[in-house]
Structures are given as structure tokens and as C-alpha cells.
């Protein structure tokens, strides 16, 4: 598995590319905007993106969606409870970020516990609301894409519309802290961590 991090879009969000090197097919997590570095990497490796998965609907994570959807003609995956963000530029702040509104409805809605198989890779979707109502985390093997739910020694803001600290705390404890301690956490911003480290040291939880 080829897993690579790119910083994309107005806030330089963590965008993850995950590809099965044998089939050269894979998925993209949270394209925050068009990225030359990502485009060059995809092209030079002849990679094909089969799905774009969105951890939530904030503009810093979704402004690359139309660009990469057109490039790969692939479905967008998200949680229904963030439609009010995906499909409303005023709510997702994309106009402020990009100078043009980004609005769309995901092609595939996922729920907590859903399994997806992409190019032979098995993904488990975990609904982790609190930062936004439709926030999801994605588990693949011992790697967790945590979006803005869980950061290294921190958590996502819960003071935006639709956010709730109590809901986020419950989601982290019931969905994420039950994972093995050595689970790698790849958040939407800043550096990586592990579940074991966050269980022990995260000051917010
Ligand atoms: Zn966010
Ligand atoms: Zn973010």
C-alpha cells in the first residue's frame, strides 16, 4: 500500500492518498484543493482514484472535490449529516477560501460500521460526530484517518454550528479509544499520533 500525505487547499489541510501499488487504484481523503504535487505524483505513478472520501464538510477539506472528481470521474463518499455543509457554500466557507462556491451532494452516503472495499483494501467507516454532525473516521488495517475529530494531543473545535464537545468526547471514547493502542492516527491537520498516546496524554479527553 502506498500511503502519502499532501498539503492542499487554502488551509493546507492533510490530504491522504492511499493506493494499492499492484493495481495502481486507490482513494483520496479530503482534497482541500487542487495540488500540483499531488497531480504530479498521481501522473508519474499512473495512479487511478476510484473514490474521494470526505471526513466532513468544512471548506478546508472539500475545495478540491470538483477538480479531482472531474479528473477521475469517481464517486464522492461522505456522511449524510454534513449535507448542510457539502451543499452550501455559505456554510462550508468555500467562497471565502477559494473565491468561488464549492457545492455538491456526495454520491455515496456511509453510516457507522459500513465496510468498503477499494482496490482490495478494506475500509471500516466510523461515525465520529462532534466537530461536525456528519464527521467520519476511516480505519484501514491499523491506520485511522481521523479528520478533525482527533489530533495529536488535541481535538477538533466544537464551537462551530452543529458542533458539540460532549458528542465528540463520546464518539472518541466509544469509537476510537476502543481501537488497539498501536493504531496509527492520521488527522486532518498537524502531525500523526497513535491511539495509545492519545488515551494517555490527550488533555481534552
Ligand atoms: Zn473541520
Ligand atoms: Zn479542518
The domains found in the chain, sorted by start residue, are 2-201 (3.60.15.10)
Ligand nearest, relative to CA of residue 159: 1
Ligand nearest, relative to CA of residue 132: 1
Separation of 50 CA from ligand 1 center, angstroms? 24
Q: What is the pLDDT of residue 190?
A: 97
Q: What is the pLDDT of residue 187?
A: 98
Around ion ligand 1, residues with a beta carbon closer than 5 Å are: 58, 148
Distance set, CA 29 to CA 113, 137, 187, 205 (Å): 18, 10, 11, 25
Q: What is the pLDDT of residue 130?
A: 98
Ligand nearest, relative to CA of residue 134: 1
96 pLDDT band (50/70/90 cuts)? confident
Separation of 59 CA from ligand 1 center, angstroms? 8
Separation of 98 CA from ligand 1 center, angstroms? 16
- Give the whole-angstrom CA distance, residue 154 versus residue 142: 20
Separation of 133 CA from ligand 2 center, angstroms? 14
Q: What is the pLDDT of residue 98?
A: 84
Q: What is the mean pLDDT of residues 57-61?
A: 96
112 by DSSP, 3-state: which?
Answer: coil
Q: What is the pLDDT of residue 66?
A: 97
pTM above 0.75, yes or no: yes
Query: Number of helices (H) and strands (E), helices first, in the chain?
Result: 8, 14
- Give the whole-angstrom CA distance, residue 144 versus residue 137: 7
Separation of 22 CA from ligand 2 center, angstroms? 31
| Residue 114 pLDDT greater than 90, yes or no | yes
**Which residue from 123, 152, 119, 101 is spatially nearest to 55, judged by alpha carbons?**
123
57 pLDDT band (50/70/90 cuts)? very high
Q: What is the pLDDT of residue 162?
A: 95
Separation of 109 CA from ligand 1 center, angstroms? 18
| Residue 99 pLDDT greater than 90, yes or no | no
| Residue 47 pLDDT greater than 90, yes or no | yes
Amino acid at each position: 500500500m502506498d500511503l502519502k500525505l499532501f498539503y492542499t487547499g487554502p488551509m493546507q489541510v492533510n490530504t491522504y492518498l492511499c493506493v494499492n501499488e499492484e493495481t495502481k487504484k486507490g482513494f483520496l481523503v479530503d482534497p482541500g484543493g487542487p495540488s500540483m504535487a499531488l497531480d504530479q505524483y498521481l501522473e508519474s505513478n499512473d495512479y487511478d482514484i476510484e473514490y474521494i472520501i470526505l471526513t466532513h464538510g468544512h471548506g478546508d477539506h472539500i475545495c478540491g472535490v470538483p477538480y479531482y472528481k472531474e479528473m477521475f470521474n469517481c464517486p464522492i463518499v461522505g456522511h449524510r449529516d454534513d449535507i448542510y455543509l457539502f451543499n452550501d457554500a455559505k456554510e462550508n466557507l468555500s467562497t471565502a477560501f477559494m473565491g468561488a462556491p464549492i457545492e455538491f451532494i456526495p454520491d455515496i452516503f456511509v453510516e457507522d460500521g459500513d465496510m468498503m472495499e477499494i482496490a482490495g483494501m478494506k475500509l471500516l467507516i466510523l461515525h465520529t460526530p462532534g466537530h461536525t454532525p456528519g464527521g467520519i473516521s476511516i480505519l484501514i488495517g491499523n491506520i485511522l484517518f481521523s479528520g478533525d475529530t482527533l489530533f495529536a494531543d488535541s481535538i477538533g473545535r466544537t464551537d462551530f454550528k452543529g458542533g458539540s464537545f460532549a458528542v465528540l468526547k463520546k464518539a472518541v471514547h466509544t469509537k476510537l479509544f476502543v481501537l488497539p493502542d498501536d493504531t496509527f492516527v492520521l488527522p486532518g491537520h498537524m502531525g500523526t499520533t497513535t491511539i495509545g498516546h492519545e488515551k494517555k496524554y490527550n488533555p481534552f479527553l
